[in-house]
């Protein structure tokens, strides 16, 4: 069971020391972590909760959970990276959680670009990264992760990884994630490719500007953007949403 002591043990298992915060109920772990980040809390500060009343997903969506049915936490990071590479943080988190959850749940968990965790065609988790950039550098990134242990009620397309030990899952994630964040960025790309549910599939991408591109998801570029082979040539999608149109061809 998660509590402040368990959060500290999870950090120590990854060789980390940082502040932790545990709330049985909170509006949003990301909102709490963003406030702490703005106040100067150090890198790897870990915020977790048993239930969120106003959990948030990407592009203003909500994240719904039942108390005790999901692992939900946020990390404060301060990578010394150029802002153009910030998308790699979410990809690293996705790959790390897919690896950890696959081992502990004995199910195949894969990543749908840019931020969904999938088993088959069901979404079992998601990642929300929020960055503060100033003077051409990253001040902080707050990374929120939610993984369903039980299927939430009345959420279309949602799935779950099953009952795994929350502390063990958090430990396994942090160990993998730290190695990627502190290692060569090529490793992030390679490990994400290895657990991808998107590459090799026919997809339709909608950019934040509203443009659409349909074709085969071919690869990632060095910043983590998705490269789609279309009838008009290769289209780079740095930020946006995609829809899988076919089964994996890889």
Spatial neighbors of 154 by CB under 8 A, at least 6 apart, are none
Confidence grade of residue 156 (pLDDT, cut at 50, 70, 90): confident
Mean pLDDT rounded to a whole number for the chain: 91
Mean pLDDT of the 34-50 span: 97
Res. 83: pLDDT tops 70: yes
Instruction: Tell me the per-residue pLDDT of 88-146, one tens digit each, with 9 for 90 and over.
Output: 999 999 999 999 999 999 999 999 999 999 999 999 999 999 999 988 899 999 999 99
46's tokens:
């870990």
Task: Evaluate whether 72 touches 155 at the Cβ level (below 8 Å).
Answer: no
Phi/psi at 117 (5° precision): -105, 130
Span 202-244 CATH architecture:
Roll (2.30)
Mean pLDDT of the 48-61 span: 68
Of 184, 183, 171, 191, nearest in space to 14 by CA: 171
Confidence grade of residue 44 (pLDDT, cut at 50, 70, 90): very high
Mean pLDDT of the 188-206 span: 97
Residue 68 region by backbone torsions, left for phi larger than 0, else alpha for psi between -120 and 50, else beta: left
Mean pLDDT of the 67-92 span: 92
Confidence grade of residue 68 (pLDDT, cut at 50, 70, 90): low
Confidence grade of residue 206 (pLDDT, cut at 50, 70, 90): confident
Confidence grade of residue 175 (pLDDT, cut at 50, 70, 90): very high
Please tell me the CATH superfamily of domain 4-194, with its number: Bira Bifunctional Protein; Domain 2 (3.30.930.10)
Domains 4-194 and 202-244 share a fold: no
pLDDT for the residue numbered 250: 45
Segments making up each domain of the chain, as ranges: 4-194, 202-244
């Amino acid at each position: 069971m998660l509590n402040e002591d368990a959060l500290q043990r999870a950090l120590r298992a990854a060789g980390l020391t940082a502040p932790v915060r545990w709330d049985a109920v909170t509006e949003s772990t990301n909102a709490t972590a963003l406030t702490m980040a703005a106040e100067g809390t150090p890198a790897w500060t870990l915020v977790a909760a048993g239930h969120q009343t106003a959990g948030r997903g990407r592009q203003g969506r909500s994240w719904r959970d039942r108390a005790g049915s999901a692992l939900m936490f946020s990390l404060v990071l301060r990578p010394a990276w150029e802002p153009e590479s910030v998308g790699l943080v979410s990809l690293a988190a996705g790959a790390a959680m897919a690896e950890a959850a696959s081992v502990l749940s004995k199910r195949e968990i894969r990543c749908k670009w840019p931020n969904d965790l999938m088993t088959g065609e069901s979404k079992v988790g998601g990642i929300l990264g929020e960055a503060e950039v100033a003077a051409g550098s990253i001040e902080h990134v707050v990374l929120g992760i939610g993984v369903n242990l039980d299927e939430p009620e009345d959420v279309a397309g949602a799935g779950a990884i099953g009952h795994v030990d929350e502390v063990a899952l958090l430990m396994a994630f942090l160990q993998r994630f730290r190695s990627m964040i502190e290692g060569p960025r090529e490793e992030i790309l390679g490990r994400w490719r290895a657990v991808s549910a998107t590459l090799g599939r026919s997809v339709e991408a909608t950019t934040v500007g509203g443009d659409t591109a349909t074709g085969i998801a071919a690869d990632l570029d060095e910043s983590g953007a998705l490269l789609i082979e279309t009838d008009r040539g290769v289209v780079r999608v740095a930020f946006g949403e995609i829809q899988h149109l076919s089964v994996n061809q890889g």
